[in-house]
Amino acid sequence: MSQIKPKTLFEKVWKEHIVSEETLANPAILYIDLHLIHEVTTPQAFSMLRNNNLDVRKKNLTIGTMDHSTPTLPVNNFKDIEIAGADAANQVRTMIKNCNDFGLELFDFDSINRGIVHVIGPELGLTQPGKTIVCGDSHTSTHGAFGALAFGIGTTEVGHVLATQCLLQRKPKTLSIEVLGSLKNGVSAKDLILAIIGKIGVDGGTGYVMEYMGEAISSMSMEGRMTMCNMSIEAGAKAGMIAPDDATYEFLIDKPRSPKKEAWDKALNHWKSLPSDEGSIFDKIITIDANKLEPMITFGTNPGMVIGVNDPVPISENDAAFSKAIDYMQISPGETLHNKPIDVVFIGSCTNSRLSDLQEAANILKDRKISDDVTMLVVPGSQKIKRDAEAIGLDKVFKKAGAQWREAGCSMCLGMNGDTVDPGKLSVSTSNRNFEGRQGKGSRTILASPSTAAASAIEGNITDPRRYIT
């Protein structure tokens, strides 16, 4: 009698959602449990439905929100959106019409549940272990923190999911990232994922689904796990996943869209079967020592160009891309970026805009002032997070320190709706990408944790946050 082969978390979720098996000639057909949509990547997909006289296959499995094109200054009507830009206003109008026409739930710009798509999914309990989740957005991998298989898709694929609730997919390989030991005080999930990307490179995860495991991961909050999985895509991975555990279940149990009563018990029983089996085999294994990590910052124009906050910029000879990147950033090989003057600090994005991220920054800013030379924006990830932060006085901390407190949205992460960094200016950002011009034409971006961003805002230069952490 043959023994059952141990399976990884990914393999279990994949197997449960196969409609048609992959062959050499054809990809697998994968069933999708949850389709999240926003106003930027959907117009063409809905046009495809109309042009082919098609309806949305599973209306209850598609949820929409406004996040990219909605200004982070108070929005009361379309006039406010139009001030931010005609394109933004048109995207919002189109999203409203499409969701109304096809009978889809939408968290509109005046909804109390509106927010960044990868923030509201978990906070509403829509994101659950074992689900397949897609969105026309790269950082859909965020939802993998719950043991879901979640990944971004293109606009054409958005149309396919709307019409069929399925996707054609080739099965990725598996990559285990085991994080040994524990993170030191002042070192966060953001620092850890930057260190991982720095180690394996921006293409180190290409073709893989990455599963994070180990002591440092199991002891991490759900917010920290979301930060880890969010940036898996920056290592080239298809998705990032973390096995569900007691922290996952505690997070979900009281969420509005989580299963209730008997349905909860049934779901929980299934969720507990999902973690990778003992003896399961990964295609590749990487080990990280958490004890050796310090606060991390990027120095170039991709998230893999990363160093410890006190380390010098590396020297790389005969590398044209490297030289181009540091020339753009106006830095030099061998230079230490600690104490380098900055112009802008941004705390927000689907990576670091949750309540714990805001608390992390506020703990450093409390009873302190940001530098007169720094403009600082704090943008919560959802309207709920904004309300929760205001209920405990975080907004007062930020405003007293000299920062701007905004409405929920994607904001300066990708330079939307006037929330931009001016040409040549240097930003310390808690977002996920530091590409050329990402935060505004000619802007320069250094990625960092909320603690490092807040400490840097106070000093007016790149600062090790541990000097402010007791």
Q: Annotate 450-468 with b (16+ C-beta within 10 A) or e (fewer).
A: bbbbbbbbbbbbbbbbbeb
- For the entire predicted model, the pTM comes to 0.96
**pLDDT band at residue 73, thresholds of 50, 70 and 90?**
confident
Residue 359: other Cβ atoms inside 10 A: 15
CATH architecture of the domain covering 173-243+269-292:
3-Layer(aba) Sandwich (3.40)
| CATH 3.40.1060.10 domain extents, the chain | 173-243+269-292
What CA–CA distance (Å, rounded) separates 407 from 73? 6
Say what the pLDDT of residue 1 is: 45
Q: What is the pLDDT of residues 144-191, one digit of tens each?
A: 999 999 999 999 999 999 999 999 999 999 999 999 999 999 999 999
What CA–CA distance (Å, rounded) separates 318 from 43? 44
CATH topology classification for 9-169: Aconitase; domain 3 (3.30.499)
What CA–CA distance (Å, rounded) separates 337 from 291? 23
Q: How many residues does the chain have?
A: 470
What CA–CA distance (Å, rounded) separates 184 from 53? 57
- Residues 433/98, Cβ–Cβ less than 8 Å: no
Q: What is the pLDDT of residues 81-139, one digit of tens each?
A: 776 677 888 898 999 999 999 999 999 988 999 999 999 999 999 999 999 999 999 99
Q: Is the pLDDT of residue 227 over 60?
A: yes
State the DSSP code for 136: S
Find tokens 């921006």 and name the residue. Answer: 202
| Average pLDDT of every residue of the chain | 96
Say what the pLDDT of residue 382 is: 97
Say what the pLDDT of residue 79 is: 67
Amino acid identity, position 315? I
| CATH 3.30.499.10 domain extents, the chain | 9-169, 297-468
Find tokens 């230490």 and name the residue. Answer: 336
Helix (H) / strand (E) containing 313: none
- Residues 381/353, Cβ–Cβ less than 8 Å: yes
- Residues 236/206, Cβ–Cβ less than 8 Å: yes
State the first-to-last Cα distance of the chain, in angstroms, to the nearest integer. 59
Q: Which CATH class, in words, describes the domain spanning 297-468?
A: alpha beta
Phi, psi of 376 (to 5 degrees): -125, 125
Residue 292: other Cβ atoms inside 10 A: 12
- Residues 132/18, Cβ–Cβ less than 8 Å: no
Q: Annotate 299-326 with b (16+ C-beta within 10 A) or e (fewer).
A: bbbbbbbbbbbeeebeeeeeeeebeebb
Q: Is the pLDDT of residue 80 over 90?
A: no
Question: Both tokens of residue 406?
Answer: 């905004």
Say what the pLDDT of residue 78 is: 64
Q: Which three-class secondary structure state does DSSP give residue 451?
A: helix
